[in-house]
């Protein structure tokens, strides 16, 4: 199956500027150079960046040459897309620090073979104002620019000239890569279609015979209608210091049955047959969550490596299916980095009093009822004895107590030093 057919099966294509011409270009057997851009607005990528990167990676695995433009230039002025207000400008020092962090992450995802990272600051910073206005600005029609969705949505609240020119700078990027690196294809999200086609039009005005293309990716929406990647806890980062590997693994493992096959198609490199088999498992044995487990394993391996993915899977298995006392203090801290936590006294206390004092139960009556019904677990042990004494020093080097109420309601209690 060719790359475009595979992308279509994986529901990874929304629009292509000239499908037949691109198909013919790919059919020549000669590798195509393609790119997408990312602005260094933070010191880590998040899972939203995986959406275009997975398309780049598939082209790379098919023998083509992906480029990523780290927007040291565009990132210093701000992209108007997806927001109703102006972006807060960063210092150049912060932009450079972010560029270094993102470059390291992208190199881990793509390796160094048949892959190139460039920085548009290298060419945009050399433009003079007069050169920009005469040689570039003259080729852009303001009416056309205003009609671009990415700008039109901001007209009511206002948009600065700085952010208004972003689409011109992105077009210069495409021209530069086409002219100097023979890049012919730019990819981006569905909301970037206006910017991508602006780049094609700009190149055609400078070189009418140029064979250049744009491909956009569908907006990733969950079955409940909410945007993919948004959680109550904030962004899911690729940096393990910002989102632990366990949290990352759990994000994928907790996906809805209605979404998991779509995500397996898009975010993994499993074959069509493997995904079809997992789809059958979802339909016949959804309680086993085989598809979710494979999704979590594959994406975590891609981002963090096989060893880290295996460690996250082991923590998950122990936490939800095994003996939690097998967890090390480090594993416990990783698992509960952003989950409910309380601070407790280091004194041994009756279980009923302990639960109420630490606000894990609203009253002694409710505490006794939950204990009697077997709903309370302390360090993996079900407690049904109302006279049980909670000893903070019994497990986890005397640093923590792990409380479970019901099936999955965990709280980590840190013992005061």
Half-sphere exposure of 42 (CA within 13 A, CB side): 12
Residue ranges with strand state E in 106-176: 116-119
For residues 213 and 260, is the Cβ–Cβ distance under 8 A?
no
268 three-class SS = coil
Backbone φ and ψ for 344, nearest 5 degrees, come out as -130, 165
Is 166 one of the annotated binding-site residues?
yes
Q: How many CB atoms lie within 10 A of CB 215?
A: 25
Count of all residues that appear for the chain in the document:
417
DSSP states along 344-382: E-SS-EEHHHHHHHTTSSS-HHHHHHHHHTT-EEETTEE
Is 230 one of the annotated binding-site residues?
yes
For residues 338 and 412, is the Cβ–Cβ distance under 8 A?
no
Is 364 one of the annotated binding-site residues?
no
Crossing angle (nearest 10°) for helices 193-206 and 166-181: 50
Binding-site residues for L-tyrosine sit at 35, 166, 170
Binding-site residues sit at 35, 166, 170, 230
Binding-site residues for ATP sit at 230
């Amino acid at each position: 199956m060719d790359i475009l057919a595979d992308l279509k099966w994986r529901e990874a294509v929304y629009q292509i500027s000239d499908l037949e011409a691109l198909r013919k270009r790919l059919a020549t057997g000669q590798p195509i150079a393609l790119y997408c851009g990312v602005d260094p607005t933070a010191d880590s990528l998040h899972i939203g960046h995986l959406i275009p990167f997975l398309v780049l990676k598939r082209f790379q695995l098919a023998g083509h040459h992906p480029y990523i433009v780290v927007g040291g230039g565009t990132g210093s002025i701000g992209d108007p897309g997806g927001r109703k207000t102006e972006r807060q400008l960063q210092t150049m020092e912060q932009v450079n620090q972010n560029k270094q962090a993102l470059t390291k992450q992208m190199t881990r995802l793509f390796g160094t073979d048949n892959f190139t990272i460039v920085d548009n600051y290298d060419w945009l910073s050399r433009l003079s104002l007069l050169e920009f206005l005469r040689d570039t600005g003259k080729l852009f029609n303001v009416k056309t620019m205003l009609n671009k969705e990415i700008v039109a949505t901001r007209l009511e609240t206002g948009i600065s000239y700085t952010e208004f020119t972003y689409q011109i700078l992105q077009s210069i990027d495409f021209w530069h890569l086409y002219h100097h690196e023979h890049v012919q294809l730019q990819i981006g999200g569905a909301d970037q279609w206006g910017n991508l086609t602006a780049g094609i039009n700009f190149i055609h005005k400078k070189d009418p015979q140029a064979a250049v293309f744009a491909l956009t990716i569908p907006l990733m929406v969950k079955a409940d209608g909410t945007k993919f990647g948004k959680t109550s806890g904030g962004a899911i980062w690729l940096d393990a210091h910002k989102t632990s590997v366990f949290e990352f693994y759990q994000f994928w493992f907790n996906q809805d049955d209605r979404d998991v096959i779509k995500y397996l198609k898009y975010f993994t490199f499993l074959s069509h047959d493997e995904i079809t088999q997992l789809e059958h498992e979802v339909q016949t044995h959804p309680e086993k969550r085989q598809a979710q487990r494979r999704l979590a394993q594959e994406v975590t391996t891609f981002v963090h490596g096989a060893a880290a993915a295996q460690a996250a899977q082991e923590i998950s298995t122990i936490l939800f299916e095994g003996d939690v006392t097998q967890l090390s203090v480090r594993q416990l801290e990783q698992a509960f980095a952003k989950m409910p936590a309380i601070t407790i006294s280091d004194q041994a206390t009756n279980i009923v009093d302990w639960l109420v004092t630490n606000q894990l139960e609203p009253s002694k009556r409710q505490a006794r009822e939950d204990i009697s019904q077997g709903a309370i677990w302390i360090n993996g042990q079900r407690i049904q004895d109302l006279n049980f004494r909670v000893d903070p020093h019994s497990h986890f080097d005397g640093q923590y107590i792990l409380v479970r109420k019901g099936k999955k309601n965990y709280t980590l209690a840190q013992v005061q030093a």
